[in-house]
Structure 1
Amino acid sequence: MKLLHLTDIHLTRPGNTIGGRDPNANFEKALQDALHKHRDAEALFITGDLSDWGDAEDYARLRKRIANTTVPIHLLIGNHDERPTFLKEFPELANADGHVQYTVPLSLGTAICLDTWGPETHAGHFCETRARWLTKQLEQVEGPVWIFMHHNPVPVRVAPMDKIMLLDADLFGETIRPFARKIRHIFHGHCHLPLCGSLHGVPFSAPRGTNHAGWADFAATRLLSSADLPEAYAVAFATQASTLLHMVEFGYDGDIKGEGSPEYADWDRMTMVR
C-alpha cells in the first residue's frame, strides 16, 4: 500500500506570498509531482492548515482543484483554518459532534482522520468528546490503523513550537495507549519540520510542508524560526510487515548527481564519484 501525505499548504488569495513563496503555486507543484510520480498511491491526505487565513474562497478553490484527481484526497483542518467556514464548503466531513473527523477504509487497514482545531488559538485540542469518538473507532475498525492529525502530540523541544502543540497530549496518549499494537503510524503536520518519533510505542512522523519551512532553533524562547529549505511532502510504503516513509523535497531545484553502480564489483577509486 502506498499513501501520500501533504501538510500545511496554506492557500492564500491569488498573488499573496508567505516567506516570499507562493503557496498556491507550490501546492499545485506538490500535487502535480505527487500525482504524477505516485499515481499508484491509494490515497492522499492533507493534514491541515489548508488555508492561511481560513478564507471561504480558499476552500472553494481547493474543492474545485481536488474534485477529479486520480488519487482520492482526504482533508483535515489545522490551526490556520476556520472550522465553520471549512464545513460550509465541505459539510460531508463533519461527524455527529461537528468535528472534522472520519475514517477511510484502506487495502491495509483503516485511516482515522482527527480534528485538533480550536477557536482563536494556534494550539491543538483533543477534548473528551473527541477522545470518546476515537476510542469508539479504535474499538470498531480493523487494524492496522493509520492516524492522521494536524498538531504534534509530542513536544519537539523547541519552546515556541511546544506552546502551540497538542495541549491535550496526555489525554490523546492515554486514548491510544490501549490500542498501541493496533495503530501502525501517526501522521501529523503543524511544525514545518521533518520529524519522527514514537508515542507509547506508536511511530509518528511529519514532513516539512508544501510552502515555507521551519527551523529547529533549540535556543529560541519566544519566536518561531524559518529557513530557506525545499518544500516537501511524504510518501509512505506499507506491507503487512513494514512501513517506510520518504520525505520528497519536490521544491529542490539543484542537480541530481549519479554516484556510480551499487554493484560491489564496480567500486574502485578511479570510477566512483567522490
Structure 2
Amino acid sequence: MKLLHFTDIHLTKEGDTIGGRDPNANFLKGLNHALALHADAEAIFITGDLSDWGDAEDYVRLKSQMAALPLPVHLMIGNHDDRPTFAQTFPDLFNDDGFVQYAVPLSIGTALCLDTWAPETHAGHYCDRRAAWLSAQLEHVPGPVWLFMHHNPVPIGIEPMDKIMLLDADRFAAVVAPHRDKVRHIFHGHCHLPLTGSLHGIPLSAPRGTNHAGWPDFGATRLLSTAALPEAYGAILATETTTLAHMVEFGYAGDIIGEGSPDYADWNRMTMVR
C-alpha cells in the first residue's frame, strides 16, 4: 500500500506569497510531482493548515482541485484554518459531534483523520468528545490503524513550537496507549520540520510541508525559525508487517547525480563518483 502525506499547504489568495514563496503554485507543483512518481498511490492525506487565513475561497479552490485528481484526498484542519468556514465547503467531513473526524477504509487497515483545531489559538486541542470518538473507533475499526492529525502530540524540544503543540497530549496518549498494538503509525504536520519519534511505542513522523520550511533552533525562546529549505511531501509505503515514510523534497532544484551501481562487483575506485 502506498499513501501520500501532504501537510501545511497554506493556500492563499491568488498572487499572495509566504516568505517569498507562492503556496498555491507550490501545492500544485507538489501534487504534479507526486502524481507523476506515485500514480500507484491509494490516497492523499493533507494534515491541516489547508488555508493560511481560513478564507472561504481557498477551500472552494481546493475542492475544485481535488475533484480533478485521479485518487481520493482526505482533509484535516490545522490552526491556520477556520472550522466554521471550512464547513461551508466540506460539510460531509464532519462527524455527529461537529468535528472533522472520520474513518477511511484502506487496502491495509483503516486511517482515522483527527481534528485538533481550536478557535483563536495556534495550539492543538483534543477534548473529551473528540477523545471518546477516537476511543470508540480504535475499539471497532479493522486494524492496523493509521492516525492522521495536524498538531504534534509529543514535544519536539523547541520552546516556541512546544507552546503550540497538542496541549491535550496526555488525554490523546491515554486513548491511544491501550491500542499500541493496533495503531501502526501517527502522521502529523504543524512543525514544518521532518520529524520522527514515538508515543507509548507508537511510531510517529512528519514531513516538512509544501511551502515554507521550519528550522530546528533549539535556542529559540519566543520566535519560530524558518530557512530556505526545499518544499516536501511524504510518501508512505506499507505492507502487513512494515511501514516506511519518505520525505520527498520536490522543491529541490539542484543536480541529481548517479553515483554508481548498487552491485558490489561494480564498485571500484575508477568508476564510483565521489
Q: State whether TM-score is above 0.5.
A: yes
Question: Deviation at 1:241?
Answer: 1.0
For residues 259 and 61 of structure 1, what CA distance do their matches in structure 2 show? 42
**In 2, are the aligned partners of 1:35 and 1:71 still within 8 Å (CA)?**
no
Residue in 1 that maps onto 2:253: 253
Residue in 2 that maps onto 1:224: 224
Partner of 1:8, secondary structure, is coil
* Aligned counterparts, 1:67-106, within 5 A: 67-106=67-106
* Aligned counterparts, 1:1-274, within 5 A: 1-274=1-274
- What is the TM-score of this pair, normalised by structure 1? 0.99
Question: Deviation at 1:114?
Answer: 0.2
1:85-104, CA deviations, whole angstroms, 9 ceiling, x for partnerless residues? 00110000010000000000
Partner of 1:146, secondary structure, is strand
For residues 144 and 198 of structure 2, what CA distance do their matches in structure 1 show? 16
Structure 1 residue identity aligned to 2:269 = R
Partner of 2:136, secondary structure, is helix
Deviating runs (4+, > 4 A) in structure 1?
none
Partner of 1:129, secondary structure, is helix
Partner of 2:137, secondary structure, is helix
Partner of 1:237, secondary structure, is strand
For residues 229 and 123 of structure 2, what CA distance do their matches in structure 1 show? 24
Q: Which runs of 5+ in 1 are unaligned?
A: none
Question: Deviation at 1:68?
Answer: 2.9
**In 2, are the aligned partners of 1:9 and 1:211 still within 8 Å (CA)?**
yes
1:123-160, CA deviations, whole angstroms, 9 ceiling, x for partnerless residues? 00000001100000001101000000000000000000
For residues 32 and 8 of structure 1, what CA distance do their matches in structure 2 show? 17
Structure 1 residue identity aligned to 2:205 = S
For residues 240 and 170 of structure 1, what CA distance do their matches in structure 2 show? 29
For residues 262 and 179 of structure 1, what CA distance do their matches in structure 2 show? 40
Partner of 1:118, secondary structure, is coil
Structure 2 residue identity aligned to 1:76 = M
Question: Deviation at 1:50?
Answer: 0.2
Question: Deviation at 1:268?
Answer: 1.0
For residues 262 and 111 of structure 1, what CA distance do their matches in structure 2 show? 35
Please say which of residues 28-37 and 222-231 is displaced more in the overlay. Answer: 28-37
Structure 2 residue identity aligned to 1:135 = S
Structure 2 residue identity aligned to 1:119 = P
Partner of 1:197, secondary structure, is strand
1:151-195, CA deviations, whole angstroms, 9 ceiling, x for partnerless residues? 000000000000000000000001100001000000000000000
Identity %: 72
Aligned residues, how many? 274
